[in-house]
Structure 1
Amino acid sequence: MKRSKRFAIASAAAVVAAAVALTGCSSSDDSSTGTPASDSGATSTLNAAADATANLTGAHLVINVEGSLQGLNASEVTADISTKPELVGEGTAVLNMGNKKVDAPFVFVDGHMYANVDDKGFLDYGEGRSIYDISKVLDAESGVPFILRNIKGAKEAGSENIDGSDTTKITGTIEAKDLSGLTGTSPQAKGLDSEIPVTVWITKDGKNNVARVSSEPAEGASLTINLSEWGKTVTVKKPADIKSPSQKPSQAPKSGEPTRNPVG
């Protein structure tokens, strides 16, 4: 009897242990969304890259947009930025203006973006959202570091050379609303409740710098951010000649008259 009792207890313990083991295995998956579990190695690399990007003091960036993204008027942005002691940057954005694309050289300094859209002279565009808010790219709370920490189902997908740097390619998904900091879309906008594919390329040189982030924020549209010259220092100056903003005329213009009158 004692032996049978001991055998029953041991059997029950084995069943419990097996149940615990099965529970531990399944907990690594996101059962609510069906997203596969991330590989531990991929997650470790993403977290290291997120730290490295959040600590960057500067970089060269190239942003390309294919298709149409709500809240983003630029199809390309090329810029050099520094984050210390304050965020500054300069570069050129290519903007969609009706049926044509126009260049908009810009300078970001003292929290303001000054841009020369279509060679009309530099104007103060505030924080620059209507051009592109470059302050978000390296921001730990809404930019590339934030995206890296929130990728689901992360898997290593081989190696690739990006602009001369050997990188590890990692694929996964991210909630569409988590990309809003880089697209300029409100996180509360409709249609951001789905998961979208994202791919990142991280350097293999031990510094874990992000060389590229590519995603598809909307159907038929893609956003690609290339980073290089990590840690570079950039010095910029406020444009010497800043035009005064135009204003609406005091009364409705007649046929053929301009709808805005320059001031200053």
Structure 2
Amino acid sequence: MFTRRILAGALALGLAVVAGCSSDEPADEQLPDGPLLIEAAATAMGSVNSAHFGIEVRGDIPGLSVRGLEGDLTKEGGPSGGAKGTGTLDQGGQLVEVEFVLAGDTLYLKGPTGDFQEIPVQLSSAVYDPSAVLDPERGIAKVLGSMRNPTTEAREEVDGTPAYKVTGTVAKDVLGELVPGVPSDADIAFWLRAEGERLPVKATATFGEGQSVDVRLSEVNKPVTVNPPE
């Protein structure tokens, strides 16, 4: 009987120690405040001078001629900066693969055949103006600063980068500066870096069932050189 009491006491003491140790372990991470994350991300975008970007359109969105773009951007090289890359445009129901170069005050566009065609940058929005992405008055920073009711939903990984997912809504007029032709206000989600500056990794704007636009940003502030095509 005495031995049993000793064993019971030792077991009770052991459980108490374990319970005490468990209470000192950190609880699940508390998600940061949505508005503060969005404010920090908008500020961080001000330090972005170059980046690799991608735009992907899912579903049939009337009025939106861009189906996909990928390339490199820089604020250097002229009043509109510079950009180069490839894309897919919807022209009268036909999908056309293009190459583009934005250098100085001219957008150079090349289809599947032929040479580059010159388009004055003032008219480039009829196709797509890539300089909008980093423009604080038209691009990602503007969308961030205009986001309504931002709410932090989760911590996730996007392309291997830990990020906070923040959701909200954005007005058509604001989003239309970045992606011309959007049909309405949109639900929007931003994935912001969880470590270091809260730079956006990805954004998804949703307009209806099966209708969305993804914008991705990477290789921030890596050197980008853009020259007019020869």
Alignment of 1:51-70 (within 5 A): 51-70=43-62
How far residue 43 of structure 1 moved from its aligned partner, in angstroms, is 0.8
How far residue 73 of structure 1 moved from its aligned partner, in angstroms, is 1.3
Name the structure 2 match of 1:82: 74
CA distance in 2, matches of 1:47, 1:70: 32
How far residue 141 of structure 1 moved from its aligned partner, in angstroms, is 1.3
Calculate the aligned-residue CA RMSD, in Å: 2.1
The letter for the 1-side match of 2:133 is: V
Give 3-state SS (helix, strand or coil) of 1:233's partner: coil
Give 3-state SS (helix, strand or coil) of 1:125's partner: strand
| C-alpha contact 2:153 2:167 (8 A) present in aligned 1 | yes
The percent identity for this pair of structures is 27
Give 3-state SS (helix, strand or coil) of 2:125's partner: coil
How far residue 208 of structure 1 moved from its aligned partner, in angstroms, is 1.1
Question: Does residue 109 of structure 1 match 2:99?
Answer: no
1:100 to 87, 94, 106: 94
Unaligned runs of 5+ in 2: 1-30
How far residue 161 of structure 1 moved from its aligned partner, in angstroms, is 1.1
For normalisation by structure 1, the TM-score amounts to 0.69
The letter for the 1-side match of 2:205 is: S
Cα offsets for 1:106-146 (capped at 9, x unmatched): 11100211011122210012222233111111211121111
Unaligned runs of 5+ in 1: 1-38, 241-264
CA distance in 2, matches of 1:110, 1:117: 21
How far residue 185 of structure 1 moved from its aligned partner, in angstroms, is 3.5
Name the structure 2 match of 1:123: 117
CA distance in 1, matches of 2:94, 2:171: 32
CA distance in 2, matches of 1:92, 1:152: 32
Name the structure 2 match of 1:165: 161
Give 3-state SS (helix, strand or coil) of 2:34's partner: helix
How far residue 219 of structure 1 moved from its aligned partner, in angstroms, is 6.4
CA distance in 2, matches of 1:219, 1:96: 20
The letter for the 1-side match of 2:33 is: G
| C-alpha contact 2:32 2:152 (8 A) present in aligned 1 | no
Cα offsets for 1:151-174 (capped at 9, x unmatched): 112111111111121100001112
Give 3-state SS (helix, strand or coil) of 1:119's partner: coil
1:146 to 133, 142, 155: 142
Hey, which of these two has a bigger chunk of strand by percent?
Answer: 2
Alignment of 1:1-264 (within 5 A): 41-84=33-76, 86=78, 87-127=81-121, 128-185=124-181, 192=184, 195-217=185-207, 220-240=210-230
How far residue 68 of structure 1 moved from its aligned partner, in angstroms, is 3.4
Cα offsets for 1:188-214 (capped at 9, x unmatched): xxx64xx42110000012211110111
For normalisation by structure 2, the TM-score amounts to 0.78
CA distance in 2, matches of 1:178, 1:151: 9
